[in-house]
Amino acid sequence: MRYLITTALAYTNGPLHLGHARSTYIPADIMYKYLKLRGEEVIHVGGTDNHGVPITLTAEKEGKNPEEIVEKYHNEIKEDLDLLGVEFDAFGKTHSQIHIETAQEFYLKLKENGYIYEKEIEQFYCPNCKKFLPDRYVEGICPYCGGEARGDHCEVCGRHLEPFELKEPYCVICKGKPEIRKTKHYFFKLSALKDELEEYIKNAEEMPEHVKNMALNWIKELHDWDISRDISWGVPIPGTNQVMYVWLEAPIGYISFTKMLGDVWKKYWLEKDTKIYHFIGKDITVHHAVFWPGMLIAHGSFNLPTAVISGGYLTLEGRKMSTSKKWVVWVKDFVKNFDADYLRYYLVMSAPLFKDCDFSFDDFKNKINNELINIIGNFTHRVLTFTHRKFKKVPIVDEGRLKEEDKELLKKCEETIKAVDKNIRSFKFRDALVNILHLAIEGNSYFQKMEPWAVKDEERLKEILYTCCKTVKTLIYLLYPYMPKKSLALLELMNEELDLNLRGNELKKPKIIFKKIDDKKIEEMKKKLYENRKEEKGGKEMEQIDISYLEKIDLRVGEVIEAEDIPKSKKLLKLIVDLGDEKRQIVSGIKGYYKPEDLVGKKVIVVCNLKPAKLCGVLSEGMILAAEDDEGNLALLTVDKDIKAGSKVR
């Protein structure tokens, strides 16, 4: 059996953060290193995704051309991966000759097989920017709920919108008004592949259950896929002046980058007996479990994915990560202060891969110091120092002569090896690491029971320490995929090879391999993170305004006279507010903070001259003011003592 491991192509408009590391790269690298360690034929292929409009936008913002942006972030991303200890056999770019050719050949084959057709469609065109605008680059008002909508999707009510349903559309680049123009687009007949996809998914034995469920659900309603874009940055569609939609060409990168290795690529993509594992983040599960296999089926020659391993999301200190709000920890900043192997350990240990989990600095410190170091670090260290002091080398004894309790620990080693194998091969990286931790606990317990420090009989002492060293060697071997650097450092002290044998070699002078995490560094990192957040929100950064600006806002006191829930919304309540001379209906996003009945009678501050809008289909003629803190607590603004409804606020 041959294994091809791929990791999601990183998008070259920013470096990697801890979320990328946890959901995709670290698990994949563990799988890769493990299979390699077991002597399997395995390669890891990855790279960066360089096309699509966001790159051109970033380029414009930074006053550079797209190639420069791509180059910059491609290199940064690769450096981040190196820092994490993630290894690749091939790491490519989608903006490269080999990929562009491969993607075009792929496309032509789809066409030849009858899966591509042309259709004239109408699309937004921005006369100002002189370009057609892909969906996401037009914003406007949702015709159903009056909320803000982007392209074909309303952010507020979540409806899918037909093109041009959008009211008051504007171009996100120049804010100008786009016009509608006709253009010829190419479509991929995804809908024709329903039966084949269903059969594929149902028979994909190693595909995780939740991925299967999602995929099967998705194919119930498959749309054909508009795969052309009227922009210039991308893989040109042969014979046109358009480029391919990135989700058509990017996954082909898995093939193109394998080609970087020469003819062996054929073994992985064309010959049977290959397992293909795609490691991705959960947001792109459908692309990998439905669209990509659909493309491969339509193409007809390549192996299909054996499994799509979709990693859960990582929150930071209990809150959603956000690069724009600077609520993020970048890989390169993290590894400046802490060992990458500690990160690998922590991110795997925190939760099973498919689940979301949280990264917190305090928890990181606790888990590393109290679990990894106290249990595993301490066991390996006490065994090596003690053995070194007594014998200077690993004593080799005849295993047949060992006592029951020795044999029991050695048996536990064997069992752990088996359990780890089973768990890693079924993507249960955390479970396997727990198996390893348990072996170290058993080791400590054995050491304690045997009391080698009190054993006078040298032969017996050799037996005990042989058993301990064998256990340490097993730990080093099994830990290698998780913590390669630490594992190799221990191996160095043992003067050993990366396998399960003991050679009786002379031990190097022991030193501490697993150093505890420094509180100061934790505090530094936390401080930096929280300060970023303050800066972002802080008043200093805001532009100063003239008092006349304030006069433009009509603020008045209003009394809530009716309040009811808007059932189909997540956050909205409908309020009727008395403003003295009139009553107004106002929709407010405070569901969950206030019960409708508690609001009635409250005096609130209302922005009266706000442009009316429909939210979730309900008209809102104003806005009530509320304060919100870091923890997401919300409080309505009200008046200090009773005052007439309709009073002006100034």
Partner RNA sequence: AGCGGGGUAGGGUAGCCAGGUCCAUCCCGCCGGGCUCAUAACCCGGAGAUCGGAGGUUCAAAUCCUCCCCCCGCUACCA
Name residues contacting RNA, limited to 277-296 (CB under 7 A). Answer: 280-284, 286, 291
Instruction: Pick from 36, 381, 470, 473 the residue near RNA by CB under 7 A.
Output: 381
Instruction: Pick from 165, 371, 408, 415 the residue near RNA by CB under 7 A.
Output: 371
Site for RNA in 17-36 (CB under 7 A): 19-20, 22-24
- Taking CB under 7 A as the binding criterion, the range among 194-202, 348-356, 607-615, 637-645 that sits at the site for RNA is 348-356
Q: Three-state SS for 104? A: helix
Shortest distance (Å) from residue 152 CB to RNA: 6
Site for RNA in 161-180 (CB under 7 A): none
Please work out the total of residues on this chain that contact RNA, with binding judged by CB under 7 A. Answer: 93
Of 229, 148, 280, the closest CA to residue 613 belongs to: 148
Shortest distance (Å) from residue 499 CB to RNA: 23
- 432 touching RNA, by CB under 7 A: no
Instruction: Pick from 1, 120, 130, 223 the residue near RNA by CB under 7 A.
Output: 223
- 59 touching RNA, by CB under 7 A: no
- 232 touching RNA, by CB under 7 A: no
Site for RNA in 97-136 (CB under 7 A): 134-136
- Taking CB under 7 A as the binding criterion, the range among 270-278, 374-382, 458-466, 623-631 that sits at the site for RNA is 374-382
Which residue, 231 or 637, is less far from RNA as judged by CB? 231
Q: Three-state SS for 47? A: strand
Instruction: Pick from 5, 8, 70, 439 the residue near RNA by CB under 7 A.
Output: 8
16 and 56 Cβ atoms separated by less than 8 Å? no
Which residue, 93 or 556, is less far from RNA as judged by CB? 93
- Taking CB under 7 A as the binding criterion, the range among 176-184, 350-358, 477-485, 542-550 that sits at the site for RNA is 350-358
- 194 touching RNA, by CB under 7 A: no
Which residue, 145 or 255, is less far from RNA as judged by CB? 145
Length of the chain: 650
Residues 6+ apart with CB under 8 A from 606: 555, 556, 557, 558, 577, 579, 584, 586, 622, 623, 624, 625
Paired sense of beta strands 41-49 and 10-11, if any: parallel
Which residue, 68 or 356, is less far from RNA as judged by CB? 356
CA distance 573 to 575: 6
Interface characters, 562-601, with RNA (x: CB under 7 A): -----xx-x---------------------x---------
How many of the other CB atoms lie within 10 Å of CB of 213? 13
135 and 152 Cβ atoms separated by less than 8 Å? yes
The DSSP code sequence of 573-620 is EEEEEE-SS-EEEEEES-BTTB-HHHHTT-EEEEETTSPPEEETTEEE
- Taking CB under 7 A as the binding criterion, the range among 106-114, 266-274, 296-304, 346-354 that sits at the site for RNA is 346-354
- 456 touching RNA, by CB under 7 A: no
Amino acid in position 325: K
- 240 touching RNA, by CB under 7 A: no
- 386 touching RNA, by CB under 7 A: yes
90 bridge partner residues: 45
CA distance 346 to 519: 17
560 bridge partner residues: 577
Percentage helix, strand, coil, to 5, in the chain? 45, 20, 35
Shortest distance (Å) from residue 289 CB to RNA: 11
- 356 touching RNA, by CB under 7 A: yes
Shortest distance (Å) from residue 504 CB to RNA: 20
Site for RNA in 305-334 (CB under 7 A): 311-315, 320-321
Instruction: Pick from 37, 54, 396, 617 the residue near RNA by CB under 7 A.
Output: 54
Amino acid in position 179: E
Residues 6+ apart with CB under 8 A from 385: 510
Instruction: Pick from 240, 274, 337, 385 the residue near RNA by CB under 7 A.
Output: 385
- 221 touching RNA, by CB under 7 A: yes
Residues 6+ apart with CB under 8 A from 38: 421
Shortest distance (Å) from residue 634 CB to RNA: 12
Give the angle 177-178-184 at the CA atoms, nearest 5°: 180
Instruction: Look at the alpha carbons of 143, 145, 147, 150 in this order and tell me if their dihedral is positive or negative.
Output: negative
- Taking CB under 7 A as the binding criterion, the range among 8-16, 37-45, 337-345, 411-419 that sits at the site for RNA is 8-16
Instruction: Pick from 106, 391, 429, 447 the residue near RNA by CB under 7 A.
Output: 447
Q: Three-state SS for 225? A: strand
How many of the other CB atoms lie within 10 Å of CB of 279? 28
Site for RNA in 602-621 (CB under 7 A): none
The DSSP code sequence of 142-160 is -TTT--EEETTEETTT--B
140 and 168 Cβ atoms separated by less than 8 Å? yes
Site for RNA in 474-533 (CB under 7 A): 512-516
- 53 touching RNA, by CB under 7 A: yes
- 378 touching RNA, by CB under 7 A: yes
Which residue, 16 or 608, is less far from RNA as judged by CB? 16
